[in-house]
Amino acid sequence: MTTRPIPPRRPLTLRDVSEASGVSEMTVSRVLRNRGDVSAATREKVLTAAKTLGYVPNKIAGALASQRVNLVAVIIPSLSNMVFPEVMGAISNTLEGTGLQPVVGVTNYTPEREEQVLYEMLSWRPSGVIIAGLEQTDAAKAMMRNSGIPVVQIMDVDGTPVDNSVGISHRRAGRMMAQQILKAGYQNIGFMGTKMPLDHRARKRFEGFTEALAKGGVQVADQEFYSGGSALAKGREMTATMLERNPDLDFLYYSNDMIGAGGLLYLLEQGIDIPGQIGLAGFNGVELLDGLPRQLATMDACRYDIGVKAAEIIQARVENTEASPVSLELTPKIAFGDTLKRKLGG
Amino acid sequence: MTTRPIPPRRPLTLRDVSEASGVSEMTVSRVLRNRGDVSAATREKVLTAAKTLGYVPNKIAGALASQRVNLVAVIIPSLSNMVFPEVMGAISNTLEGTGLQPVVGVTNYTPEREEQVLYEMLSWRPSGVIIAGLEQTDAAKAMMRNSGIPVVQIMDVDGTPVDNSVGISHRRAGRMMAQQILKAGYQNIGFMGTKMPLDHRARKRFEGFTEALAKGGVQVADQEFYSGGSALAKGREMTATMLERNPDLDFLYYSNDMIGAGGLLYLLEQGIDIPGQIGLAGFNGVELLDGLPRQLATMDACRYDIGVKAAEIIQARVENTEASPVSLELTPKIAFGDTLKRKLGG
DNA sequence: CTGAAAGCGCTAACAA
DNA sequence: TTGTTAGCGCTTTCAG
């Protein structure tokens, strides 16, 4: 029969392990952290005691005493847009083995919530902050500046970072896509996207897009916005609506791949010739696209690389506080897929 | 011209606010936490000082002193399966306004990682733990039992919980689907799923499924497993492979909706009559399905309700430590969609 | 309504 | 290699 230790009302402390093992608290602490030289015998005693007692160190006390917290705050707008979990994954992988640990905070695309979340996270005194976008409130920016810890603003470079930044230029991304569309000969272009004034990156892409079209003497012929619901379904609906209203459109630019996929499925069902009669493009390069009947033209937002770089910057800055700020612009690549005619020189 | 405070090398403390406002640290603390009675005048002074200095409280010190941490550890296998972010969302929403805050940990479906993550999170002395599944290592279960905090194991009820549990019976879910398939008259059934021995819920669904088929005198005629890559694409590929190998299958059961959707798209392209010639079903009720050409039959896993209930249990237990453990089984509902023939009495 | 003292559980720094 | 001492920045408790 095994003795099952009764769950202690009071969580165990170093002192308990110290008493159980007959070793000083300090030495117990050293063993548990693999710090300093401890004889094999003592180490053994301590480890056994800690394990049988079921001791779990109190990081709160540890952090307070050592003035060190191995956490990196990662602040993103949402978890339901797969883009952000992907960046998180990249950050996690990169941080693995560095002793740093990411902790997520979600803002739901609102500046107030973002400020709160930031405040909340900073109050835990993390080692660094990785935050999506360059558009925080003044108060939030001040908090980041005053925190004394490295900050990386990610996913966007169109603006001035507080400290470090890694991302792509969404304005440029919009321009690039517009140029390819014009080069392919499309002239009658519709746009569909989310009804989210606070999604600055989507806004910048659209701005770059219209700007480059204008340079080619073309204006967006129609546009439509949605919010909530299944993006795939919305893509369908909006596409149907728009084509009904505007049957001679020859290109549809979607602000994300999910609605683009919805549009693609719809048009295929209608027997429309893609990309001959109508061309299509989305944005993001989501994995899902691989399984569609046709490859949707899209643009990779370098999400994985952004996560990796951001984590590397934090790590470097934690190790060397004096290093100077880094601003890194990555370059998105167009994937033509099967829905955008490719012209030579593209 | 505005004076911009130079970022302090040393983070600000209560003492700084105390000195700047000429009020004792204790009273400053009271103001900042809205605790106890403080005169409006003092309150004002403190708030102003704190704001102009840009003071951010140190929760580490606060937590150590008060022995209270308002964090709830949420431990899930992955962020890339949308099921988990959804549960997280439900937990977040429910916890909002209770003073509790969720913190995510991701295990990548491995027990070792799960144990580490749990240990790491418990070392921050959270107020509660919400963890996916009932199958943790013995060490992990011991940690949870000994932690002295409320624990809710979610998403599965086929087994014995450490403390509280909320979820569905995946075994039953598998059985239910099998029964409907048999009732609809299908006899030649193929199964496709992930190659993940550690996804216990998928395993249990499969077990329930085969068991109920067996009761109807039917065996799974063929099966295929995948890992990695785009689930939609894998669903296509596996479906093609399986039908080539086994052309007279009349039903395909997919362990998740994403591969089911891939299969559906493939079969539609092949011009196969669904659900006449071949019936299909997936699992989870993902939002994506709304945008497909046909509604895939599926089963809702009650993810949102599970998150809500789990959060409520934690909250109740934090307020009343003496409450007895709760075990809650929710009942998933079948959505027949367009890919599973519906018979009367179903 | 306000303040002073004590200590949360751990680790840095030093001493033996 | 091990132990002792003195806090880390806050809150609890108790006294004014």
CA of A58 to C1' of D7 (A): 17
Number of CB pairs < 8 Å for A and B? 141
Q: Say which residues have a Cβ less than 8 Å from residue B18's Cβ, sequence separation at least 6.
A: B24, B25, B28
Interface contact B122-A80, CB threshold 8 A: no
Looking at the predicted structure, is the pLDDT value of residue B194 above 90?
Answer: yes
Residue B26, chain A, CB below 8 Å: the answer is no
Looking at the predicted structure, is the pLDDT value of residue B259 above 50?
Answer: yes
Interface contact B54-A148, CB threshold 8 A: no
Looking at the predicted structure, is the pLDDT value of residue B215 above 80?
Answer: yes
Residue B322, chain A, CB below 8 Å: the answer is no
Q: What is the pLDDT of residue B36?
A: 84
Strand (E) or helix (H) holding A154: strand A151-154
Instruction: Say which residue, A103 or B288, is predicted with more confidence.
Output: A103
Cross-strand bridge partners of residue B38? none
Cross-strand bridge partners of residue A164? A152
> In 3-state terms, what secondary structure has residue A33?
helix
Q: How much is the mean pLDDT over chain A?
A: 95
Among B318, B328, B306, which residue's Cα sits nearest to residue B72?
Answer: B318
Q: What is the pLDDT of residues A209-236, one digit of tens each?
A: 999 999 999 999 999 999 988 999 999 9
Interface contact B80-A80, CB threshold 8 A: no
Structure tokens at A223: 């546009």
Q: What is the pTM of this model?
A: 0.95
Structure tokens at B96: 């909002």
Q: For a pLDDT cut of 70, what percent of chain B falls above it?
A: 97
> What residues 188-227 of chain A have any CB closer than 8 A to a CB of chain B?
none
C-alpha distances in Å from residue B198, one per residue of A70, B79, B117, B174 = 29, 16, 17, 17
Per-residue 3-state assignment (H helix, E strand, C coil) for chain B: CCCCCCCCCCCCCHHHHHHHHCCCHHHHHHHHHCCCCCCHHHHHHHHHHHHHHCCCCCHHHHHHHHCCCCEEEEEECCCCCCHHHHHHHHHHHHHCCCCCEEEEEECCCCHHHHHHHHHHHHCCCCCEEEEECCCCCHHHHHHHHHCCCCEEEECCCCCCCCCEEEECCHHHHHHHHHHHHHHCCCCCEEEEEECCCCCHHHHHHHHHHHHHHHHCCCCEEEEEEECCCCHHHHHHHHHHHHHHHCCCCCEEEECCHHHHHHHHHHHHHCCCCCCCCCEEECCECCHHHHHCCCCCEEEECCHHHHHHHHHHHHHHHHHCCCCCCCEEECCCCEECCCCCCCCCCC
Q: What is the pLDDT of residue A6?
A: 59
Interface contact B148-A293, CB threshold 8 A: no
Q: What is the pLDDT of residues B16-38, one digit of tens each?
A: 999 999 999 999 999 999 998 99
Residue A265, chain B, CB below 8 Å: the answer is yes
Q: What is the pLDDT of residue A343?
A: 76
CA distance B266 to chain A (A): 8
Residue A145, chain B, CB below 8 Å: the answer is yes
Looking at the predicted structure, is the pLDDT value of residue B318 above 80?
Answer: yes
Among B312, B293, B319, which residue's Cα sits nearest to residue A233?
Answer: B293
Q: What is the pLDDT of residue A7?
A: 59
Nearest nucleotide from residue B62 CA, by C1' atom: D10
> What residues 113-142 of chain A have any CB closer than 8 A to a CB of chain B?
119-120, 122-125, 142
Q: What is the pLDDT of residues B77-92, one digit of tens each?
A: 999 888 999 999 999 9
Q: What is the pLDDT of residue A4?
A: 54
Q: Which of A54, A148, A269 sits opposite B9 (nearest CB)?
A: A148
Give contacts of B269 with chain A, Cβ < 8 Å: 293
CA distance B182 to chain A (A): 29
DSSP A254: E
Q: Does the C-beta of B42 come within 7 A of strand D?
A: no
Cross-strand bridge partners of residue B191? B223, B253
Give contacts of B231 with chain A, Cβ < 8 Å: 291
Residue B235, chain A, CB below 8 Å: the answer is yes
Q: Give the dihedral sign, CA A202/A208/A210/A213.
A: negative
Q: Does the C-beta of B51 come within 7 A of strand D?
A: no
Q: What is the pLDDT confidence band of residue A322, given thresholds at 50, 70 and 90? A: confident
Give contacts of A287 with chain B, Cβ < 8 Å: 229-230, 232
From A150-154, A253-257, B6-10, B58-62, the region with the lowest mean pLDDT: B6-10
Looking at the predicted structure, is the pLDDT value of residue B48 above 90?
Answer: yes
Q: What is the pLDDT of residues A80-123, one digit of tens each?
A: 888 999 999 999 999 999 999 999 999 999 999 999 999 999 99
Strand (E) or helix (H) holding A253: strand A251-254
Interface contact B85-A80, CB threshold 8 A: yes
Q: For a pLDDT cut of 90, what percent of chain B falls above it?
A: 91
d(CA A129, CA A305): 17
Whether the Cβ atoms of residue A124 and residue A71 lie closer than 8 Å to each other: yes
Structure tokens at A123: 């109050």
d(CA B248, CA B217): 18
Q: Which domains can be identified in chain A, with CATH numbers?
A: 14-57 (1.10.260.40), 66-168+303-332 (3.40.50.2300), 170-300 (3.40.50.2300)
d(CA A105, CA A74): 6
Whether the Cβ atoms of residue A252 and residue A278 lie closer than 8 Å to each other: yes
Q: What is the pLDDT of residue B116?
A: 96
CA of A69 to C1' of D11 (A): 21
CA of A27 to C1' of D5 (A): 15
Q: Which residue of A has its CA nearest to B56?
A: A123
- How far the first Cα of chain A sits from its last, in Å, is 75
Looking at the predicted structure, is the pLDDT value of residue B1 above 50?
Answer: no
Interface contact B145-A7, CB threshold 8 A: yes
Phi and psi of A247, rounded to 5°?
-65, -20
Structure tokens at B150: 């409320």
Q: What is the pLDDT of residue A342?
A: 87
Q: Does the C-beta of B37 come within 7 A of strand C?
A: yes
Residue A143, chain B, CB below 8 Å: the answer is yes
Highest-pLDDT range among A2-16, A276-290, B203-217: B203-217
d(CA B265, CA B271): 10
Give contacts of A79 with chain B, Cβ < 8 Å: 79, 85, 88-89
Q: Which residue of A has its CA nearest to B69?
A: A60
Among A312, A319, A287, which residue's Cα sits nearest to residue A166?
Answer: A312
Q: Give the dihedral sign, CA A120/A125/A131/A136.
A: positive
Q: What is the pLDDT of residue B153?
A: 98
Q: How much is the mean pLDDT over chain B?
A: 94
Looking at the predicted structure, is the pLDDT value of residue B266 above 70?
Answer: yes
Q: How many residues does chain B have?
A: 346
d(CA A340, CA B346): 46
d(CA B83, CA B329): 18
Looking at the predicted structure, is the pLDDT value of residue B197 above 70?
Answer: yes
